[in-house]
Structures are given as C-alpha cells and as structure tokens.
Amino acid sequence: MQKTQIELVTSEAKGVNNGIVVKVKGDIDSTTATYFSEEIFGILNNDGKVNIIADLQDLRYVNSTGLGAFLNITKSVRIKGGVFAICNVNDNISDVIDIIGATAALNIYPNVAKAIEALAKK
C-alpha cells in the first residue's frame, strides 16, 4: 500500500453536538482524496459524528479531486442532518475554491473557534 501524503488527527469539538475536529496535514490530491474521504465517512458512519470541522491549517495543497471530496462530504453530512465545515484555509486553497466556484457550497470559517461557535448553534 502506498504511503499517503496526508495525516488526520481528531479531537473533540467542545460544545458541538455530535461534533469532531479533524486536523488535516499534508496534501489532498488524486492519490490521497480517497483516503481522506474514507476516513471522514468512517467518522460520519461509524462514529456517528455528523458535525465535522476540518482544520486545514497544515494542509499544503488541494486540487480539484480534493475539492470534489469536500463537496461530496458536505452533501453526505447534510443528508445526515449535520454540517461539514472547513477552516484555516490558506490563500492557495482559497484560490482553488474560488476558481471552481465552490465558495457558496462549502461552510468556510476563519478558524476552529469560529467554526465551533457556528456549529454549536445548529
């Protein structure tokens, strides 16, 4: 099995019902998007966490395949009554999101605290 260029670390989203923070480190591209999606869907389907905050502070790169994963996860989480939020988005990733026109479809927050604050109200 190929070593992925991505690492996910989870922690509790204090104050968010069925919430979790997933710190993403590395790159999400054609070779790692499937792994990323499988891990998030595992959290959603096996752990019952429907409010998922992806902290992208340490994400170096995402391509259209990775953004496709974000959109797919957003839709699946919404169907289960939750929210998939991303935060700490760097300028390069923000540019890619803007280019493909996905800004309105994604729940984007400046940092984890703001994401937790917004999801705690849901």
Reported as a single tens digit per residue, the pLDDT across 15-43 is 999 999 999 999 999 999 999 999 999 99
22 within 8 A of 49, measured Cβ to Cβ:
no
Q: Which residues pair with 7 in a beta bridge?
A: 25
Give the phi and the psi of residue 24 in degrees, each rounded to 5: -105, 125
Show the tokens assigned to 56: 């992208």
pLDDT at 122: 76
8 within 8 A of 24, measured Cβ to Cβ:
yes
The average pLDDT across 50-68 equals 95
Please state, in angstroms and rounded to a whole number, the distance separating the CA atoms of residues 41 and 4: 17
pLDDT at 1: 40
Show the tokens assigned to 69: 């994963």
- What is 6-117's CATH topology? Transcription Regulator spoIIAA (3.30.750)
- β-pair type (51-62, 19-28): parallel
Give the phi and the psi of residue 16 in degrees, each rounded to 5: -105, 120
Please state, in angstroms and rounded to a whole number, the distance separating the CA atoms of residues 75 and 27: 22
pLDDT band at 2 (very low <50, low <70, confident <90, very high): very low
Is 56's pLDDT higher than 80?
yes
Q: Give the amino acid at 65.
A: T
- Domain regions of the chain by residue span: 6-117
Reported as a single tens digit per residue, the pLDDT across 109-120 is 999 999 999 999
